[in-house]
Amino acid sequence: MTQGTDFPWDIGVFDAHCHPTDTMSSIADIPKMRATTLTIMATRGEDQDLVHQTATPLKDGQPSSFPGQGTGRVLPCFGWHPWFSHQILNDTGKTEPEVALESDRKQAHYSKVLTPSPDDLFISALPDPKPLSQLISETRERLLAHPAALVGEVGLDRAFRLPQSWTQEETENRDSTMTPGSREGRTLSPHRVQLEHQKAVLEAQLRLAGELRRPVSVHSVQAHGAVFDLFKKLWSGHERKKPSGRERARRYSAANAHAESDAEEEQQELHKAEEPPLPFPPRICMHSYSGPVEPLKQFLNASNPSDIYFSFSSVINFNGPTPQKVVEVIKALPDDRILIESDLHTAGQQMDDLLEEVARQICELRGWDLHQGVQRLAENWKRFVFG
């Protein structure tokens, strides 16, 4: 892609949200890419281990060492997407009916979490539901195996409808290079996942992120108010207090900042590592944010104990039905809360092109010099991931 000024890949370009494990044949192209790091999302049962494997390539039988802060080319993220939340059985409390037979439990579960309630034939094609407690346990293990990993992709979606069951013809003609589990062009059914069930699955994952102090990538479609209300519930009692004038002066004093010794910084890092778990993630990315300008004040309120970032993609944000809305949002955001993403299912040249395209678009909208803007976006990603 060429648009006048050469693009400064050497500064570092970070994809905040992508899905190359949906096309595993493209993974071999990652080392050839110009992007510095891909933040790769897991979404469902079929891709959790694929993300893990992609993040830990073997070299002579041992995981290869990556440069930087434990990431290198791939930063893994583990989570359960709202499109597949119906596959999770909420066993945290007594929200599911108690039934003796496994088949009856499956029937009762899907009848409860899907609306309108599906018939027996539709349910028979769905997988046996996984207990939420098992999902959280497995995700915790994966996050602990990857100390820099994020939680994602998680969220809420009011618009999504489940695809119809596979027909024999669709099964015979499906693209074998695609990781199973996604829609893959099937027609949509009338069935949606009850929002309350989506919330339960999301809340459990947000609490896990807080427990391990990991950032989160959040999907939100026609649900920004519901997402914020859930954040607010988890933040309750942990709101940040507005610092006094004296505290602000001390915090932002250049002299004080330069006076901090290396020993003090090390002590701060040690203290940070020993901090107790919280019921909410420390940092949140609203991925391909599609909401209006008005909610930004809520998301960015100084009392919120989570720092919230907003990422944008050419595919979702600039090619949608209301591109002017995202222009207004990007212009309204603080410089330090903007991220870029490809949201693409294939690694390689197309992913690089999309990252360059959205970076140029944002720099133009913000009035940033291209080098200055790419540097700012890189710093924002590092702060979102590492704090």
List the domain boundaries for the chain: 9-57+68-167+182-238+277-386
The amino acid sitting at 51 is V
Is the pLDDT score of 331 beyond 80?
Answer: yes
386 φ, ψ (degrees, to nearest 5): -105, -10
Choice between 304 and 105, residue whose per-residue pLDDT is larger: 304
Closest CA to 378 of 145, 69, 149, 144: 69
Per-range mean pLDDT, top range of 16-20, 91-95, 290-294: 16-20
The whole-number pLDDT of residue 75 equals 96
Is the pLDDT score of 3 beyond 90?
Answer: no
Query: Where in the chain does DSSP place strands (E)?
Result: 14-18, 37-41, 58-59, 62-63, 74-78, 88-89, 114-115, 130-131, 150-157, 192-193, 216-221, 283-286, 307-312, 338-340
**How far apart, in whole angstroms, are the C-alpha atoms of residue 22 and residue 100?**
36
pLDDT classification of 62: cutoffs 50, 70, 90: very low
The amino acid sitting at 353 is D
Q: 9-57+68-167+182-238+277-386 belongs to which CATH class?
A: alpha beta
pLDDT tens digits, one per residue of 334-350: 999 999 999 999 999 99
From the centroid of its chain, how far is CA 108? Answer: 30
* Bridge partners (DSSP) listed for residue 286: 218, 310
Is the pLDDT score of 318 beyond 50?
Answer: yes
Is the pLDDT score of 375 beyond 90?
Answer: yes
Choice between 297 and 247, residue whose per-residue pLDDT is larger: 297
> Quick one: what percent of the chain has pLDDT higher than 70?
83
Closest CA to 41 of 63, 68, 22: 22
The whole-number pLDDT of residue 59 equals 44
The whole-number pLDDT of residue 323 equals 75
Supply the mean pLDDT for the chain: 88
Q: Where do the H-state alpha helices sit in 236-322?
A: 245-251, 254-259, 262-273, 296-299
pLDDT classification of 208: cutoffs 50, 70, 90: very high
Q: Report yes or no: 367 and 377 within 8 Å, Cβ to Cβ.
A: no
pLDDT classification of 273: cutoffs 50, 70, 90: low
3-state secondary structure of 58: strand
The whole-number pLDDT of residue 58 equals 45
Is the pLDDT score of 256 beyond 70?
Answer: no
pLDDT classification of 251: cutoffs 50, 70, 90: very low
| Residue 11 neighbours by CB distance under 10 Å | 17
Choice between 264 and 181, residue whose per-residue pLDDT is larger: 181
Is the pLDDT score of 257 beyond 50?
Answer: no
42 φ, ψ (degrees, to nearest 5): -100, 150
Average pLDDT over residues 65-88: 80
Q: What pTM, to 2 d.p., does this model score?
A: 0.89
From the centroid of its chain, how far is CA 321? Answer: 23
Lowest mean pLDDT, pick from 149-153, 169-173, 209-213: 169-173
